[in-house]
Amino acid sequence: MSITNLLNNWSFYRNKRPYRGQYDLNKEYSEYKWAMALDLDICTGCNACTTACYAENNLPVVGKKRFHHGQVMHWIRIERYWDEKMVDFPEQGASFLPMMCQQCEAAPCETVCPVGATSHTNDGLNSQNYHRCIGSRYCSANCPYKVRYFNFWNYPSTAWPAPLPDQLNPDVTVRTKGIMEKCTFCVQRLNEAKSRARTEYRLVRDGEVVPACVQACPTSAITFGNIVDPNSKVAKMWKNQQVDLYKDLQEKDNTVRGYRILEDLRPFPSVMYMERIRDTEA
């Protein structure tokens, strides 16, 4: 990139994002905006998504000691919360929350990375470029969801005793020490599907490609798709749940379940959660 180029594109970097019309089916490089809808009522907290993510994205198994030090690398984790008002027993069960990178539109991590290793793609993903990363860990410090995971150790040399490396997905880089990583919405799958679709002069069909967690989820609690396409299931769900990608505070009916986590910090996440339901009369 030359200086001229940098200056030409400066206004792009200075744009307030997201802005309406940022994603458009008619624009060549922003006809996709990948988004999720996650129904917390039918998520059972079974961890199938987590394991699928380990398999798909070459996540290292860190072992007990490192897990204890909080150096675990699960890109998607299942959080289990008890009710704050619980007396003796959790009579309404637990609250499970699968938490992965929310692919924020106004991502706090992107602005602070000194080297631009994390940046926004035209598809609305928050890309993490491993070999550009110098490991300042500022992005993790600034991530409100704490879904960025830093390679504190040289996992390639320890985490996969032979022949476990044979299982590694060749489409995903294995990360060495000193690098930040996070959920990518399985971008390797998205890229492949987009390439296939482009060859066939079409857009990626709804449901043609899903991340590993979505594919595994036994209850199909996660819906994934291109929110720019009004006919995709995920776009319909967002609309139905009255969650607007471009708004930071949703004005919605009380009966509607959609919300985005920590919306008040205005990161404009791409993952819509749907409230857990409990039968209070049961």
Partner 1 sequence: MINTFEERDVAVEKRFIHKEKDIREDIAWAQINKDVLKSLERPRMLFWVIFIASLALFMVGVSCEIYQYQTGMGVANLDNPHVWGLYIGTFIFWIGMSHSGTLLSAILHIMHADWRKPIYRFAEAMTTFSLMTAGLFVMVHLGRVWQFYYVVAYPNERWTWPNFQSPLVWDATAIFTYLTSSMIFLYIGMIPDLAICRDNATGFRKSFYTFLSLGWMGTDRQWANFRVTYLTVACFLIPLAVSVHSIVATDFAVSQQPGWHITSFPPYFVAGALYSGCAAIITLFIVLRYVFRFEEYMTMPILEKTAKLTFAIAMVWTYLNLVEYSSTWYGDDMYAKQALIYRATGDFAPYWWMMNFLGSVVPFTLAFKRIRNNIPAMLVISILLNVGMWLERWMIVSPTFANGIYPWTWDHDQWPSLVQWGIVAGSFGWFNMLFMLFCKIFPSVSMYEVKEMVYHRSLVRKGTEDATQINPELAVEGGIAS
Partner 2 sequence: MSESGINRRDFLKVLGLGGSSLALTGCGNTDIRSGDELIMPNVSPEDFVVPGLSVFYASTCTQCGSACGVMGRVREGRVLKMEGNPQSKISGGKICGLGQAAVQVQYNPDRLTQPMMKVGNGLQPVSWDKAMATLNEKVGPKSGIKGENFAFMTGAMSGHLKVLVQNYLDSLDSKNHFAYEALSPSIGFAANKQVYGVDMPRLHFDKAKLIVSFGSDFLGTGASPVHFAAEYAKFRKAPRGTLVQIEPKMTMTGANADRWIAIIPGTEGIFALGVANQLLKHSEFTNTVPAGIASLVSKYDPETVSQITGVRPELVGHVASLLWEKTPSIVISGASAEGHAHGVQNAVAIQLLNKILGNVGKTIDGQAKSPFPQIAPEAGSFSSLKAMNDAMGGGKLQAVFIHGANPVFTAPSFMGFRDNLRKVPFKVAFVNAADETAQECDLVLPILTAVEEFGSNIAWYQPEGVEITMQQPLMNKLYPDTRSMGDIMLDLVKQRRADEYKNWPDFFSYLKAAVINMKPAVKYTDTDEHFWYDTLSSGVIHIDAPQEQIGDSFAEAALSLPEVQNVQDPKFPFYLVPSERHYFRDGRHANCGWLQESPDPLTTIVWDSWVEIHPKTAASMGIKEGDYLEIASQNGTLKVKAYLFPGIHPDAVSIPLGQGHESLGRFANGVGVNPFTILNPVFEKDTGELAMFGTRVSVKKTSDSEIVVKDEGPVSTQMGRKLVVTLPADVAQLSKEI
Partner 3 sequence: MIHRLLAVLSFVFLCVGTASAEPLKWGGPIGSQTSDGYNALGPVVKQPIEFPHYRHARDMGISCLYCHTGARRGYVSVIPRIDKCIGCHQNIESVRNKPRIKKLFEYWEKKEPIPWKKVNDLPDYVRFNHERHVQRFYFRQNRPIREVCGYCHGDVANMTVDRRVKSLSMGWCISCHQKDHRENDVSMKTSHGPYECWQCHK
Residue 89 CB coordination number (10 Å): 6
Residue choice 76, 159, 180, 272 for contact with partner 1 (CB under 8 A): 180
248 by Cβ neighbours in 10 Å (0-12 / 13-18 / 19+) ranks as middle
The minimum distance between CB 1 and partner 3, in angstroms, equals 7
Nearer to partner 3, 125 or 272 (CB): 125
Nearer of residues 151 and 184 to partner 3, judged by Cβ:
184
Q: Quick one: which segment of 5-13, 18-26, 111-119, 152-160 binds partner 2 (CB under 8 A)?
A: 152-160
Q: What are 149's strand-pairing partners?
A: 181
Told to check if 86 binds partner 1 by CB under 8 A, we report no
- Residue 179 contacts residue 133 (beta carbons within 8 Å): yes
Give the CA diameter of the chain: 66
Cis peptide leading into residue 269 (ω within 30°):
no
109 binds partner 3 (CB under 8 A): no
Rg, C-alpha atoms of the chain? 19
Which of 229, 228, 224 shows the shortest CA–CA distance to 209? 224
Distance CA 267, CA 111 (A): 12
Among 17, 51, 138, 168, binds partner 1 (CB under 8 A): 138
Among 71, 122, 176, 242, binds partner 2 (CB under 8 A): 176
79 binds partner 1 (CB under 8 A): yes
153 contacts 66 by C-beta, under 8 angstroms: yes
What is residue 132's DSSP assignment? G
Q: Among residue numbers 26 through 45, which ones bind partner 2 (CB under 8 A)?
A: 40-42, 44-45
- Residues 85 to 104: which contact partner 3 by CB under 8 A? none
Q: Which two tokens stand for residue 12?
A: 């792009």
The 10 Å Cβ neighbour count of residue 190 is: 22
Is 113 a binding residue for partner 1 by CB under 8 A? The answer is: yes
Q: Which does 137 bind (CB under 5 to 8 A by kind): partner 1, partner 3, partner 2, none?
A: partner 1
Q: Which segment (25-33, 65-73, 101-109, 120-128) binds partner 2 by CB under 8 A? A: 65-73
Site residues (vs partner 1, CB under 8 A): 1-3, 6, 13, 66, 68-72, 77, 79, 81, 97, 99, 108, 111-116, 119, 132-138, 140-146, 148-154, 177-180, 262, 265
